[in-house]
Amino acid sequence: MKRAWASITEVPGGTEVTIMASRLPLRRYRHVPRFLRATSRIRKQLADSEGLVGYALDAQLVRKTFWTVSAWVGRDELRRFDRADPHRAETAAIKPMMEPTTFVFWSGRAGDLPVHWSEVRARVADHQSATGSKG
């Protein structure tokens, strides 16, 4: 189940953006409904988040793994979103249901959005190889 790239804020193509990608694997299939409810609440927050350029979600339900990618006008805007509810509360609630997660950050240009899933997966894999992590 893929949620196509949702553009939230239009910015000039040459604008530098902060891109965040994540790989979020769940421990058990029974956690999928709870994770999807959290995702729904967080998506509503994203729609009103200042500084968000766009985002997408790839839910690989058979693998119990969720991928996200988002672009922000700056790291401070991303931090504000991360620390605000419902994101803060929902991530705390689902953390015990998660296998090790991976988050990757890089800079790009707004004109190069959306980020393709192949690039998201490659950057996550590179990060995992560099850090020796499986999550």
Q: Residues 2-11: pLDDT tens digits?
A: 889 999 999 9
Encode pLDDT of 93-109 as tens digits: 999 999 999 999 999 99
- CA dihedral (81, 97, 28, 123) in degrees, to 10, reads 50
Length of the chain: 135
b/e sequence 99-122, b meaning 16+ C-beta within 10 Å: eeebebeeebebeebbbeeebbee
Tokens of 105: 């950050």
CA angle 90/133/1 to nearest 5° reads 50
User: Could you tell me which CATH number the domain at 2-131 has?
Assistant: 3.30.70.100
Of the candidates 7, 21, 3, 38, the residue with the CA atom closest to the CA atom of residue 106: 21
Question: What pLDDT is recorded for position 133?
Answer: 77
Report if pTM > 0.85: yes
Of the candidates 106, 107, 103, the residue with the CA atom closest to the CA atom of residue 128: 103
Tokens of 10: 């239009």
For the chain, domain boundaries:
2-131
Instruction: Please report, for residues 31, 43, 66, the alpha-carbon distance to residue 99 in angstroms, rounded to integers and kept in the order given.
Output: 11, 22, 11
Encode pLDDT of 18-54 as tens digits: 999 999 999 999 999 999 999 999 999 999 999 999 9
Mean pLDDT for all residues in the chain: 95
Average confidence (pLDDT) over 43-68: 96
